[in-house]
Structure 1
């Protein structure tokens, strides 16, 4: 359900840093009750000559685009809490990189446009979703 696309210039992340960040992202969602397999993290290395910030090539940059499907923030306060939560997840691996420009945004997509393995996921917080989380796999419900 959460899809994190991490666009970055070369050398920003080692393979171990990518693994660690993807694990932290997944664990953050698992902590709020989502099945681990709902979470996908994709890293897209982008050459500086193809990564522009303010119309100029960026030598050290990270742009994270997050799609949240089925879970929506109902008001500005909850959206701000989500933004702070995302910032905390990312800060550990990004903020201290010398000269880095980094940013993110979160899109919220309708659950009506989402399936996994040909199944409509169970309602959030339902016993079926808890079963999926326990089994870390889909199953008919």
Structure 2
């Protein structure tokens, strides 16, 4: 599951823009050659009032901070990290550069062994279990052909 936390000043985005941003972020993952199930992608907008939002020691209402945690896939190498960031930045550009604000994106790989969906260890990337989750777009019991979840999927 990629978890996306967007720290935003109140009223920077309309509800419609937030929905469009979440859809664009989801498409980054569902449009890959080895796509993730859409339900893996979680986007949370956290409103931070100007009096509580400081950049360089100064209050701001024109800055977006995005923190992304990857669980379902990890990067094979630094080149893949940069490639992913390029796709991600392109997807959110209408609401960052296009809006004339400053922004920052941080992506971290997390250990998938500490992750469950509806009480289930997610199926390994590329397995029949993951294909079923992708088709159904939800976590359902599946037959695992390995013991434990391994981080062998790459972005």
* TM-score for both structures, normalised by structure 2: 0.86
Structure 2 residues not aligned, in runs of 5+? 143-155
Q: Which runs of 5+ in 1 are unaligned?
A: none
The separation in 2 between residues aligned to 1:116 and 1:45, in whole angstroms, is 27
Distance in 2 between residues matched to 1:59 and 1:24, nearest whole Å: 23
106-115 or 86-95: which moved more?
86-95
Q: Structure 2 CA distance, aligned partners of 1:30 and 1:68? A: 14
Count of aligned pairs between the two proteins: 140
For residues 44-102 of structure 1, what are the alpha-carbon distances to aligned partners after superposition, in whole Å with 9 as ceiling and x for unaligned? 1111111111111112110000011131112111111111111111112221223x221
For residue 39 of structure 1, report the CA deviation from its aligned partner. Answer: 0.6
Query: What is the alpha-carbon root mean square deviation over aligned residues?
Result: 1.1
Counterpart check, 1:35 vs 2:65: no
CA contact (8 A) 1:61 1:101 kept: yes
What SS is found at the alignment partner of 1:121? coil
Which 4+ residue blocks in structure 1 deviate beyond 6 angstroms? Answer: none
